[in-house]
Amino acid sequence: MACHFPPALLTRKYIVCGISKPCGVIRMKFLKSIRIGTHELLFVGLLVLAFVIRLGLISQGWPTTNSDEGTIGLMGLHIAFNGEHPTFYYGQYYMGPHQAYVAALLFRLFGPSLFMLRFGLLLIFTLFLLSMYLLTRLVYSRGWALFCLFLLGTGSSFIMARELTAIGGYTETLLFGSLLFLLASWLVMTYRPYQRSLECRWRIVVYLAWGLIAGTSLWDDMLSAPFVLMTGLLLVVFCWRELLQLITPLAALIGLLVGMFPLLYYNLYAQPGKDSLSVLSGLRSKGGQDMAHILLALQNSASISVPMMTGEPFCQANELSIFGPTTSYALPCALTRSLWGYSYILLLIIALLLALWGLWSAWREWRINRDAELIEAQWESRRWLYRQGIHLALLFSALLTFYLYAFSSAPLDWPGIHARYLIGFLAVTPAIFWPLWQGFISVRARMNRLVQARRIICVALLTLMGVLLMVGGVDAYTQVPAVHASNERDMILINALTSRHVTHIYSDYWTCNKLTFLSNERVICASINSQLKDDHNRYHRYYDLIDADAKAAYIFPADSAFVVKQGGTYHLPAVDARAQSSGLTYQVLVIDGYVLYQER
């Protein structure tokens, strides 16, 4: 079945720069036609529900925090109160500090806390939902926009943890990707081949906005690159006559350069090897060119990464326990994830094939109607062609995202943790599941058994997807007590350290920046390796400060590789060896699962 947009969906309620009426007149009529009805109430209700679900989770301290998130929090503190203006995430040269700047604003208004750090992400995610609703309504239909809002508003605990944890780039990727497609789709859907840009000045503003968002999204995280590429291609293919006019491409270029100016400025003066492209190239190293590695990467991507980032709620996949339940390779879990992942990829392929056929059908109909005397027929066929093109561009964004991920080292190293690099799939949800919605809403005069069976299958799959995503949301709330206990443990440790006047400590990476942020820098930590050497300090001023303090303490989780338990007592062998050679003596304390070495 071709991915066909039924005539019923070709409604005249879309904002269109009409053929015979000025844009301003049509905008005014559209605004006057807005009414508050059942659809609008459902939209507001679903948006509020998604907001409240996540607000309840972050108010309880869920999900578990870590030092990556602590780094963003510290950046927010330094921006808000120290006057710092970082260009990148601390210790990196390719990922923008957007989350930290949002946090800094909230910290200035309401004070620093883990809740306010995550509340900024919740605001970003809510804007993403609003943008996705508008995009889906513009390109597909009102009913499908509501259902997609429901799907995206729910989610598994893994998905919501990625949306609500400030580890840089991921929530903004969703917002920027959806906004890029919304703006590009509006420009395409309202495009008239022989319209002069000055006749509709709003279009110039939208081109400028598209460029600005494209630029800042590339500065923020290169995960946005597929969306920038595909929306830019949409504009070139469908609005090429308009782009021949100087003012529109100039507006887009100005926006692009302004949006990514900090990234460009840094790379103009970056030292060799520390430029963004070199760093990204090193991070994305394929880790093996032979067929065995390629097949393993594809298998891990489809059977572990895709299920995790698209909502499989039962078998979490994490290689490190600090991010949640660790990966289970038991047969039931392996089968469940594989079934989900390969089914999702199959649905993506089917959607792509149908979209290609739909685009071909739309192009043929446009060729037939472009010389028709009835102007409305010309316009309807053109709009159908535009929608098919946008639909296909969305799907190719997902395909490109998967390609860039699967042919990198990420699925070979940690396919569970690195699944977050596929977060762009969420912004393509309306396109991937559109064939199922079409199968559900299709109405024919004669419903033969094959059509009835197809409709039942589509309804069943959409219902199952919605139910499983709700189950995932419930699962997130069941994790709250354990996360609350972990947060209490962190605060007990911080209070114990400050009460003993221990303000400078050495520890492992996953402890350091988390404690420094949660203590509001009352405790400063430097990260060291097993040889007690400087290791992975994102903000090196901390290490310099601790290194200058001869009385700095050592503290590590009791279950870490730094700690050895002998005869009921805990030891830090590396610290014991240093103490013996330097003549220092340490008092050993165990504080709620942490081993503290404090100089006597």
Instruction: Indicate whether 540 pLDDT > 70.
Output: yes
Phi, psi of 208 (to 5 degrees): -60, -45
Mean pLDDT of 480-500: 93
Q: How is residue 586 written in tokens?
A: 């340490």
**Range in 163-177, 188-202, 357-371, 548-562 with the lowest mean pLDDT:** 188-202
C-alpha dist (Å) from residue 540 to 101, 275, 525, 546, 587: 20, 19, 10, 10, 28
pLDDT, residue 442, reads: 72
- State the burial class of residue 35 (Cβ atoms within 10 Å of its Cβ: 0-12, 13-18, 19+): exposed
The reported pLDDT for the residue numbered 373 is 54
pLDDT at 210: 97
- Which pLDDT band holds residue 26 (cuts at 50, 70, 90)? very low
Residue 259 has pLDDT above 80, yes or no: yes
Q: Which token pair is 80?
A: 């808000």
Rounded CA-CA distance 479/472 in Å is 11
pLDDT tens string 556-597: 999 888 999 888 889 999 999 988 888 888 899 999 889 999
d(CA 176, CA 123): 13
Q: Is the pLDDT of residue 192 over 50?
A: yes
Average pLDDT score over residue span 103-127: 97
pLDDT above 60 for 22: no
- Tell me the range of 240-254, 287-301, 310-324 where mean pLDDT is highest: 240-254
- Stated pTM of the model: 0.90
* Residue 214 exposed, middle or buried by CB count within 10 Å (0-12, 13-18, 19+): buried
Nearest to 318 by CA among 410, 408, 415: 415
State residue 548's pLDDT score. 93
Q: What is the pLDDT of residue 194?
A: 67
* Kind and range of the H or E run holding 404: helix 375-406
Whether 186 shows a pLDDT value over 80: the answer reads yes
Could you read off the pLDDT of 395-450 as tens digits, one per residue? 999 999 999 999 988 898 889 989 999 999 999 999 999 999 998 887 654 567 78
Q: What is the pLDDT of residues 512-529, one digit of tens each?
A: 999 999 999 999 999 999
The Cα-based distances of 388 to 53, 145, 401, 438 in angstroms read 34, 16, 20, 14
Does residue 89 register a pLDDT over 80?
yes
d(CA 401, CA 410): 13
Separation CA 544–CA 123 (nearest Å) = 36
Q: Any idea what DSSP says for residue 270? A: P
So what's the pLDDT on residue 594? 93
What does the pLDDT read at residue 5? 38
**Percent residues over pLDDT 70 in the chain:** 89
pLDDT of residue 285: 61
What is the rounded distance in angstroms from the CA atom of residue 187 to the CA atom of residue 235? 8
For the cut 60, the answer to whether the pLDDT of residue 85 exceeds it is yes
Do residues 120 and 80 lie in contact, with contact meaning Cβ atoms separated by under 8 Å? no
Q: What is the mean pLDDT of residues 241-261?
A: 93
Q: Which of 274-288, 327-341, 392-406 has the lowest mean pLDDT?
A: 274-288
C-alpha to C-alpha distance for 214 and 258, rounded to whole angstroms: 10
Strand partners, 556: 595
Contact 190, 16 (CB under 8 A): yes
Question: In this predicted structure, what is the pLDDT of residue 2?
Answer: 40
Q: Which H/E stretch holds residue 133?
A: helix 114-139
pLDDT category of residue 293 using cuts at 50, 70 and 90: confident
Give the Cα separation of 585 and 578 in Å (integer): 10
Apex CA 294: angle with CA 291 and CA 299, to 5°?
Answer: 125
CB neighbours (10 Å) of residue 271? 8
* 493 and 594 Cβ atoms separated by less than 8 Å: yes
CB 525 within 8 A of CB 512: yes
Max Cα-Cα span within the chain:
97
User: In 3D, which of 498, 499, 600, 598 has the Cα closest to residue 556?
Assistant: 598
Position 161 scores a pLDDT of 93
Q: Where are the alpha helices (DSSP H) in 284-330?
A: 291-300, 306-310
What is the gyration radius of the CA atoms in the chain, in angstroms? Answer: 27
User: Is pLDDT of 28 > 70?
Assistant: no
- Read off the pLDDT band of 489 (50, 70, 90): very high
- CA dist list (Å): 596 to 313, 579, 592: 38, 14, 10
In this prediction, residue 141 carries a pLDDT of 93
Q: What is the mean pLDDT of the chain?
A: 88
Q: What share of the chain is helix, strand, coil (3-state, %, to 5)?
A: 65, 5, 25
The Cα–Cα gap between 304 and 318 comes to: 10
Q: What is the pLDDT of residue 330?
A: 78
Rounded to 10°, the helix 449-478/480-499 angle is 30
pLDDT of residue 515: 96
- What pLDDT was estimated at residue 599? 87
CB of 267 within 8 A of CB of 280? no
Question: Using 50, 70 and 90 to split pLDDT, how confident is the model at 199?
Answer: low
| pLDDT number for residue 196 | 65
Domain boundaries, the chain: 7-439+449-478, 482-599
Rounded average pLDDT over 194-211: 82
Give 356-404 pLDDT, tens digit per residue.
Answer: 999 998 888 877 776 655 566 677 888 899 999 999 999 999 999 999 9
* pLDDT at residue 283, rounded to an integer: 66
Contact 125, 54 (CB under 8 A): yes
Tokens matching residue 194: 């022989």
Higher-pLDDT residue of 214, 315: 214
φ, ψ of residue 588 to 5 degrees: the values are: -105, 125
pLDDT in the model for residue 470: 93
Round to whole Å and give the CA distance between 169 and 220. Answer: 6
State the Cα–Cα distance between residues 525 and 539, nearest whole angstrom. 10
